[in-house]
């Protein structure tokens, strides 16, 4: 199964260039991402920094520019699984008859 990278999109500049708008997932996407993050936190012994990153992500209502800090190889593995599982959720949510969703 190919690993699909989650693309976090850069913030959008406001027309007058004063500030950047927060770019977040849709509510159902955010709920799924937060749920997956909780499952990852239970499955892996992640560092406090990655756990805090997941919390910032949740509190920001899934701001795609959230930085996920990773300190250990376990953190890297856990974050890659988070990204993969979220992309799989999006794929299956958009096209449930896709063969990888069966």
Tens digits of residue pLDDT in 24-71: 888 999 999 999 999 999 999 999 999 999 999 999 999 989 999 999
The verdict on residue 51 lying in a domain is: yes
pLDDT band at 93; cut points 50, 70, 90: confident
For 76, other C-beta atoms within 10 Å of its C-beta total 12
The verdict on residue 85 lying in a domain is: yes
Specify the pairing of strand 20-21 against strand 12-13. Answer: antiparallel
Residue 51 pairs in a beta bridge with none
Decide: 91 and 4 in contact? Cβ < 8 Å. Answer: yes
Domains: count for the chain: 1
Residue 20 pairs in a beta bridge with 13
The rounded distance, in Å, linking the Cα atoms of 23 and 44 is 28
pLDDT at position 100: 82
The verdict on residue 15 lying in a domain is: no
The verdict on residue 3 lying in a domain is: no
Q: What is the pTM of this model?
A: 0.74
Q: For residue 55, give its domain range.
A: 23-101
pLDDT band at 17; cut points 50, 70, 90: very low
């Amino acid at each position: 199964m190919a690993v699909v990278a989650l693309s976090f999109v850069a913030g959008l500049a406001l027309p007058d260039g004063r500030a950047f708008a927060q770019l977040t997932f849709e509510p159902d996407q955010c709920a799924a991402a937060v749920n997956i993050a909780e499952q990852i936190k239970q499955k892996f012994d992640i560092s406090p920094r990655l756990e805090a990153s997941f919390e910032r992500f949740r509190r920001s209502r899934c701001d795609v520019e959230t930085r996920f800090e990773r300190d250990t190889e376990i953190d890297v593995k856990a974050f890659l699984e988070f990204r993969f599982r979220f992309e799989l959720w999006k794929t299956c949510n958009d096209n449930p008859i896709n063969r990888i969703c069966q």
